[in-house]
């Protein structure tokens, strides 16, 4: 499928990565339906892309609710030029901190936003995608969907779930018109990372990518219809190590776990002695 043949539903369109994905896709001629919870921010992005000649519309919806999913389905069916043939599940939230001290409502929100909502939205759009000559579901996950990280218990669990959903759905839809893709960025410099998370990344020597660079990787993966892509080095190595030798990665996580449990991530001056962390 060429970019100018894509009619894309993009969730999380107002987030750091989402905005740049929208810009990258618009520049390549894709038609866009932007989905998010902030009406003003969506409208601003809509106007920006239209001024640059893009075919774009937007819908304000919380895809964690049935009504929000219904609004997206209605708008995806009525896209100019034909119903949507690409769904990019990009919306996500994070809560950094010690799991034992987090509020149950925050844990539930992370799981709902990051894995349950994408599954239910995909489920709702599958009948629409199935009747297209060619269709794509792309799930934007995380390196932490393959490597569990201290301080990111709920987030890691949600992204492991999204990764598993992507893999299973890809295998289940073999032989149909739908291709399922999964792309896993490493840490990215967006507003989703609070000060504690940024300090933790600095203390552990964790690299963070610019959202524009991540968006370019996402869009190139979409264009190539590459089944899975893990962004970043040595993170890709750690994904393989974690799958083959998890006890080795366990040992490398002792210092990060200590930082989280002692609240040491508040210090910008801490450095790990071995520097080994994904």
Total residues belonging to the chain: 278
Residue (of 17, 137, 9) closest to 72 by Cα position = 9
Q: Are residues 173 and 240 in contact, defined by beta-carbon separation less than 8 angstroms? A: no
Q: What is the DSSP letter of 133?
A: S
Residue 63 has which token pair? 């895809």
Is residue 155 annotated as part of the catalytic site, yes or no? Answer: yes
Q: Which H or E run includes 181?
A: strand 178-184
In which order are the strands placed within the sheet that holds 31-36?
56-60, 31-36, 7-10, 86-89, 135-140, 178-184, 228-230
Distance CA 73, CA 93 (A): 22
Report the helix count and the strand count for the chain, using DSSP H and E: 11, 7
Active-site annotation holder among 12, 34, 115, 155: 155
Distance CA 144, CA 158 (A): 9
For the annotated catalytic residues, the residue numbers are 155
């Amino acid at each position: 499928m060429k970019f100018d043949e894509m009619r894309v539903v993009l969730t999380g369109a107002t987030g750091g990565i989402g905005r740049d994905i929208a810009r990258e896709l618009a520049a390549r001629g894709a038609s866009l339906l932007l989905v998010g919870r902030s009406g003003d921010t969506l409208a601003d992005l809509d106007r920006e892309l239209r001024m640059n000649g893009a075919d774009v519309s937007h819908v304000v919806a919380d895809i964690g609710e049935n009504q929000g999913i219904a609004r997206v389905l209605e708008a995806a069916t009525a896209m100019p030029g034909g119903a949507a043939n690409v769904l990019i599940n990009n919306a996500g939230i994070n809560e950094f901190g010690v799991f034992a001290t987090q509020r149950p409502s925050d844990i539930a929100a992370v799981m709902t936003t990051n894995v349950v909502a994408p599954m239910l939205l995909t489920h709702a759009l599958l009948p629409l995608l199935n009747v297209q000559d060619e269709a794509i579901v792309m799930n934007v996950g995380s390196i932490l969907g393959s490597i569990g990280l201290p301080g990111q218990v709920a987030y890691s669990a949600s992204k492991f779930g999204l990764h598993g959903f992507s893999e299973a759905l890809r295998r289940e839809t073999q032989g149909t018109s739908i291709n399922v893709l999964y792309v896993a960025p490493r840490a990215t410099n967006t507003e989703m990372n609070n000060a504690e998370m940024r300090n933790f990344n600095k203390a552990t020597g964790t690299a963070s990518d610019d959202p524009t660079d991540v968006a370019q990787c996402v869009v190139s993966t979409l264009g190539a219809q590459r089944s899975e892509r893990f962004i970043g080095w040595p993170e890709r190595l750690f994904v393989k190590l974690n799958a083959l030798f998890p006890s080795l990665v366990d040992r490398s996580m002792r210092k990060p776990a200590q930082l989280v449990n002692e609240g040491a991530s508040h210090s910008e001056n801490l450095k790990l002695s071995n520097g080994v962390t994904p």
